[in-house]
Structure 1
Amino acid sequence: MKILLATFWITPHVGGVWNYMQQLKEKLESFGHEVDLLGYGEGHNYVHIINENRRIEKDKLIPLRTAKLLEKSYSSKHVDPVVKYYELLRYFYELGVRNLGLEKYDLIHTQDVFSTVCINRIKSNTTALVATLHGCVAHELKHYVTHIHKTPTSNLACVYFDKLEFEGATYAEITIVANEWLKNTLTSEFHVPAEQLKVYHYGYDTESFLKRMDEKTAIQRPTDKKVIIYTGRLSEFKGVHHLLGALSQLKKSRNDWVCWIVGDGPMQEELINQSKALGLENDVFFFGRRDDIPYLLSISDIFVLPTLMENQPLSVIEAQISGKAVIASDVGGVPEIIEHGITGVLSPAGDEQMLTMHINYLLENEPYMKNLGFNAKKWGLEHWSPDKAVQKVLGVYENAIFKKRNK
């Protein structure tokens, strides 16, 4: 088969969606399929097929004069500015994808509601479409317009994103989700028919990850302290500000630890300033975006994910494979991949006092901490088999093509 894996998000990027696309491409190609990767480019300035290095620049898609007219058409006071932003991005995305061409693909596998809705509008009627949803976009964007951006038209934006979530979950022949939490959210909150959805957890290339753990870099762990580590985006939803709050409390009772924050994002500067204001500049270290996360995990002791909103986090999967004790928020699909007290610790999202207590308990009880890591690795190596996962995806592809041909 000739397959296109497509996303609306900027690629390459730090995070689970891009990792999933890369690993799925590699596995599909090992079975003899041809696979292309498509997404927005840096700064949303172009749409590109990454592996072919083919791109369509935004300013080539549409003359500047026409672009200004398009901007003006969305300037009504009745149009929410966040909705306007995404509507314009959708417009350029569709133009770019159309110019790059979809005719040669037997199947297109989208990775979010935006790309699903856009590509469904412009693809051939004979091309099968499968969607994998890696989280609830409506939840994130509705939180943004009501709590962060706080626009006077936020109610209209919420209606818009609810509609987008429904369409993105139903326009494909089959929609894949990673856990029961997201399936239940889509069926109960957005009224997506249950028969539309298949629940298949992610696979992960555990063999490559284990090899990369042995590839040493210049970073060295302190000899006299335990290492607490966070890896991922530095955005509000990841709750790193709560981790810093918890560490500030922890420092009052013990100083036998350091914390490594690995990743970048829109809150990076704010978090660095918060760390300084809390007097943690000698305890918390911001590493930025790095390619040696497997090695950094290998020399750490406790992985913490203080997330406020989550689907099936790649960072937890990697921490499990590396055999670390995991403390993660009990939100979204996280409780489905951590058995509390056995393969990790679940902590109430946003509760800094409880997070402090959990970290302190693991530091105080090293045998328990190591046992959590041992159990997590054993479970992770069995559960995240990439071969089993890709076989399930191929089964979905075959069913989607059959369904399309028999419509």
Structure 2
Amino acid sequence: MKILLAYYRYSPHTNGPSTYIDTLRKDLENKGHTVDLLSHDQKWLNIQIANQQTADKHRLKCELIHRFQTSYTAKYPLWIYWREMERYSLEQAVRQLDLNGYDLIHCHDFMTGRAMARSKSPRTPLIVSLHNFKFHETKVTGEFDEKTRREQQYMKIEEYLGAMSGDLVAVPCKWLKNQLIQMGVTPTKIEVIPYGIVKEPYTQNKKKPAKQEQHQGKKIILCPARLVPVKGHRYLIEALSELRRDRDDFHCLMAGEGPELHTLQQLTDKLGAASAISFLGKRHDIPQLMNDSDIIVLPSLHDTFPLVLLEGQFSAKPILAANAGGIKEIISDGADGMLVPSADSEALAEKLRLLLDDEAIRLQLGKRALDKAIKHWDISFHMASLERLYERCKAQNRPSHPLSSSTGPDLEILNQIDPGMADDTGFILAGEIPPHLRNQLGRQKHYIHVYDLSGVLLQTKALGPEGAYEFHHLPAGSYVLKSTLESFGNQTICVGRS
């Protein structure tokens, strides 16, 4: 079978879905399938397939902005306008690529799912996998409440139609299935297929951990998660600060990168916990870190079915996690791990104290976690279920109905937004890259991107000779800045709000 996997973010990436897609691709190829990947390139300027086909999405987006700015901004809030320009340019870029010859297309987010449904041949089966539920996440983080009623309508219908665009929808847990049904997605379209893990990196090298010299004699607590607000790091830092007041027998490793780094470091210093916490940044040795740790913690405010917990169970380590989303479908509280309420630093401190004090409990929870992982999370179980889903989708063998206005703006979304005049104020975001990075500009053209908090690219600007940039017509809100200069990192910035 010739299969096209599609993912909005560039690949390789460091988040859970990217790790999953990489594993899926390798396993499908080992089984004899031909697999290509469609995604952004690393600079977020082009859409590419397997580094063989490329479409200049940035150029297409600039043309669409020039073409539609007046007609959109007269009717819709600026945030909807920028989201639409991104979705529409993604779709136009996909249309420039040759999708013929694929037996099946498997998208891994609602953005590419919708774009593919409006661009592919009606006879090519389409599966949409959802690895997260952004609509719910925005409610947890408070972003939803900061939006206008029309923007809230858009958030819901965009994700709903992205899911409904597939012939079938694959989700990793029952929690997400139920959430989608409540949103209106047809229940018979949804298939629950829990993730699987290649176990060897976590089950091998079980020799005694070689802890760093400065941590000798201390228990290692590992938190492997992106540094974004929804992962709940601040509550873990508060819990560690509480423990630090009366003990010095632990050290916490925060493994991950993200725009919250500076904020979390400031909080760590403020609470006097800096000597007990290390921020490791982006890591490629998570299996070794897990094998070297004593406790694994994931304090998420929202999560769907985090792969890192399956990895932690294969590493036979006790896991302490917040009871968010589908996590309780991975961990049975008190049997093979521990659960606490989200955003509860006191509960985190209490359970961490218990795990630090009682080696027998740590060993027992770790053993039972490994037993569950072997029984449920081996990659072979997942792949068998997924291949059955592929065959089911192909066997349906019925052309899907072309989506309305598939060569123009997505009216199926826009027509469900209440009519009205745009009344929000646009702001300018101007700045320049730090002086110590300017010598990296050289002759190569570099860009800077502004994303909303859900990770959707809103605008792209070329950096000036001195590293200056300026974005126009941004609505009030918080954004993330990234650049084609990798050392620029991620920065969270607030526009139009004190």
Question: Do the two structures share a fold, i.e. TM-score over 0.5?
Answer: yes
Alignment pair present for 1:89 and 2:109? no
The counterpart of 1:138, out of the listed 128, 135, 140, is 135
**Higher share of residues assigned helix:** 1
> CA 1:322/1:174 → structure 2, altered by over 3 Å: closer, same or farther?
same
Alignment pair present for 1:33 and 2:27? no
Deviations 1:134-182 (Å, cap 9, x if unpaired)?
121222345567468x34xx22111112112221222211111111111
Shift in Å, 1:211: 4.4
**Range with greater deviation from structure 2 (161-170 or 326-335):** 161-170
Which amino acid is the alignment partner of residue 139 of structure 1?
A: H
The counterpart of 2:363, out of the listed 364, 370, 384, is 370
- Native 8 Å contact 1:3 1:33 kept in 2: yes
CA distance in 1, matches of 2:231, 2:80: 23
Secondary structure, aligned partner of 1:13: coil
- Native 8 Å contact 1:178 1:200 kept in 2: yes
In the other structure, the counterpart of 1:166 is 160
> CA 1:380/1:244 → structure 2, altered by over 3 Å: closer, same or farther?
same
- Native 8 Å contact 1:145 1:157 kept in 2: no
Alignment pair present for 1:391 and 2:388? no
CA RMSD of aligned residues (A): 2.3
> CA 1:244/1:81 → structure 2, altered by over 3 Å: closer, same or farther?
farther
Number of aligned residue pairs: 400
The counterpart of 1:360, out of the listed 350, 353, 356, is 353
**Range with greater deviation from structure 2 (82-91 or 262-271):** 82-91
Report 1:83-162 matches (<5 A). 83-141=80-138, 146=143, 150-151=146-147, 154-162=148-156
CA distance in 1, matches of 2:70, 2:248: 57
The alignment's TM-score, normalised by the length of structure 2, stands at: 0.76
Deviations 1:230-266 (Å, cap 9, x if unpaired)?
0021111100111111111111121111100000012
> CA 1:213/1:156 → structure 2, altered by over 3 Å: closer, same or farther?
farther
Alignment pair present for 1:52 and 2:51? yes
- Native 8 Å contact 2:140 2:301 kept in 1: no
Secondary structure, aligned partner of 2:181: helix
> CA 1:219/1:164 → structure 2, altered by over 3 Å: closer, same or farther?
farther
CA distance in 2, matches of 1:101, 1:212: 44
Report 1:3-402 matches (<5 A). 3-42=3-42, 44-49=44-49, 51-52=50-51, 54-61=53-60, 64=62, 67-76=65-74, 79-141=76-138, 146=143, 150-151=146-147, 154-188=148-182, 190-211=183-204, 222-402=215-395
- Native 8 Å contact 2:123 2:399 kept in 1: no
- Native 8 Å contact 2:141 2:229 kept in 1: no
Secondary structure, aligned partner of 1:52: coil
Secondary structure, aligned partner of 1:254: coil
> CA 1:47/1:213 → structure 2, altered by over 3 Å: closer, same or farther?
farther
Secondary structure, aligned partner of 2:9: strand
Shift in Å, 1:66: 5.2
Which amino acid is the alignment partner of residue 334 of structure 2?
A: G
- Native 8 Å contact 1:213 1:294 kept in 2: no
- Native 8 Å contact 1:25 1:35 kept in 2: yes
Shift in Å, 1:306: 0.3
Secondary structure, aligned partner of 1:400: helix
> CA 1:159/1:319 → structure 2, altered by over 3 Å: closer, same or farther?
same
Larger Rg: 2
Shift in Å, 1:406: 7.1
Q: Which runs of 5+ in 1 are unaligned?
A: none
Secondary structure, aligned partner of 1:37: strand
> CA 1:243/1:147 → structure 2, altered by over 3 Å: closer, same or farther?
farther
